[in-house]
A and B are shown apart, each in its own frame.
Chain A
């Protein structure tokens, strides 16, 4: 019965056809040059840590524009995988933000559209956080602009400082003084600890330890991000100091296994004297805490100050059909209105250097401290950053765990070559 067979084959092919068109559907909306504010619906993806800022931008933009930005947030750890699978399926959103240190990887993989011409036409382009802009650059083309800025600082509990006989208005100015302050607070005893750090969290330590290396004049990588120098004297000294604090019990015992999720909770508890942390936590900790929070720059062993200029970059998804409208949103986020009335008002750090002091920052001197740090800080650049440093299975994790809790000398030597191999991938 050839007819039956033919029928089956035809039905199967039809079904297959239907499925494959469904799989690559959406091609019919050809990208015609349209007005930038044409009433398009723009999808924006971001990680949970950045969700509140992205939503604040979107709400302010939506209120004054025909285009509507819809924000979807994903859990921090799952976000890179979500982006990778969306890219593989050619289903990226119109806009997506990413941790600024992952930006070179996404730019090199072509996940964002090239926005070089549009960015260069911006009147404020020279004021946009330079380290962030560099991380969104690949082969001299711009792919991303800064979305949020978060810097590493020392946060300290002023109440515990007073109790321990320290001056709460005079935070430590070197890492050695930081260790002394932590020891003094730790002597209060009970469940109070001097300090806290993410001893099993690659991303945390990159953010909190590297500024001490930079402040001492050292570095952790070469400029191209292809060779590691964590076996340097400056890095070894920083590790040795934290290692000692852990061994003495000054750092909370939970520091060793802290992989990130309970880091904020530990500092919120009010039982930690002083610890390096994201500047964005100042507001979050104060919201709930019954104690006063002080802020100080992260310093090197003998002084100096630096910071890790982190945060998120954002670009236009390579498969977006609304590139013009998406750029309209990005250009708006870099404008004065968004930077002052959305970012600065929400106690955030403006992504523009010329807006570091604004009408909101002057109300809180601690915010001025944070904003002024931006010029002294750095954003490290490496294409394979995530796999080398942030991922739990990264060579960085192995190296610093060894340096803090194991055979320090060997870990840093072996670590530097393992990191270099990973950076070169």
Chain B
């Protein structure tokens, strides 16, 4: 797309134009397959979603323009309001906990030593399990019928962690996400940690800096781009949470763990209201773009 821009006849005053343009065409050629895939599977569906959000869009048959009904209707949707609030709460909880845990793990295994390889592998291993499979695994573990966890906690009594109360339901999902994603984020943070030159640490130590000072004044500032990246991934992932709640809690009890994407799914496939589903998606996309722009802004400023 942008790669195709130089295709316009650019007149360069001195350099032999033929060769330069030749290269540009070949560049465009190389980029064409990617541009095609991005266009076909990203730009076109995106445009279609925006287009759908302006219409009453039946499953079969012709859509009719109804702008701005789909957007105006969002304000009255009580379930959507609950879901927005819950998704934000979940994002804050997960981002804070997941970041602390991942960073902790990364610091633990940052230097080579006895057993560190084993620990790194162990921490990363859950990332090799598919997320849906991991959710089902937790559903089994936490189930009152077949799982061992309830027996340990409640003995003979009845206890349902995934649907007993809003807090235990959220807790179950958070523990699942921590288990599944801490290792992966640890890996990203680890690459950041190891990119910091050792002589910086040595210099600091010679100057008599304590461990805490080294962490605060050297590690964290030099890690900023990596931290920004990890936080971006965590926040985006949390705002788009679906699998863990869909499988583990089914959005319950009493809609207390219904995420935004579940509401989109419900609008589209249960209410069969594709227009409204598209409208929520567009709004969510807008929010994500804002979040990412802020975070990339931070990233860019610090890496200058």
Contacts and interface: CB of A to CB of B under 8 A. Distances in A.
Interface in B6-46: 7, 21-22, 25-26, 28-29, 32, 36, 40
Contact of B60 (A15, A111, A254): A111
A110 B58 contact: yes
Contacts of B61: 110
Could you say which of B7, B25, B144, B263 has the most chain A C-beta atoms within 10 Å of its C-beta?
Answer: B25
A413 interface: no
Given A200-B252, A392-B250, 10 more contacts: A4-B25, A5-B28, A81-B265, A87-B60, A105-B272, A259-B252, A393-B262, A393-B266, A397-B252, A397-B255
Contacts, number: 94
A84 B269 contact: yes
Contacts of B163: 200, 257, 259
A161 B252 CA distance: 35
Across chains A and B, which 5 residue pairs bring their CB atoms closest together, nearest first? A81-B269, A253-B158, A87-B59, A257-B160, A257-B163
Contacts of B262: 393
Interface in B149-171: 157-158, 160, 163-164
Interface in A244-278: 252-254, 256-257, 259, 262, 265
A188 interface: no
B251 A16 contact: no
Interface in A39-88: 80-81, 84-85, 87-88
A297 to B, nearest CB: 30
B287 interface: no
Contacts of B268: 84
A201 B124 CA distance: 37
A1 B21 contact: yes
A313 interface: no
B269 A80 contact: yes
A418 B270 CA distance: 17
B199 interface: no
Please indicate which of the listed interface residues B78, B164, B250 has the most CB atoms of chain A within 10 Å of its own CB: B250
B271 interface: yes
Interface residues of B, number: 41
A20 to B, nearest CB: 10
Interface of B: 7, 21-22, 25-26, 28-29, 32, 36, 40, 58-61, 78-79, 144-145, 157-158, 160, 163-164, 250-255, 258, 262-263, 265-266, 268-274
Contact of A393 (B28, B58, B255): B255
A333 B263 CA distance: 38
Nearest to B44: A16
Interface stretch (A212-220, A225-233, A362-370, A383-391): A383-391
A387 B145 CA distance: 29
Contacts of B157: 253
B29 A88 contact: no
A205 interface: no
24 contacts: A1-B21, A1-B25, A8-B29, A12-B32, A19-B40, A84-B269, A85-B269, A88-B59, A105-B272, A111-B59, A111-B60, A252-B158, A257-B164, A318-B60, A387-B271, A391-B266, A391-B270, A392-B250, A392-B251, A393-B262, A393-B263, A393-B266, A397-B254, A401-B254
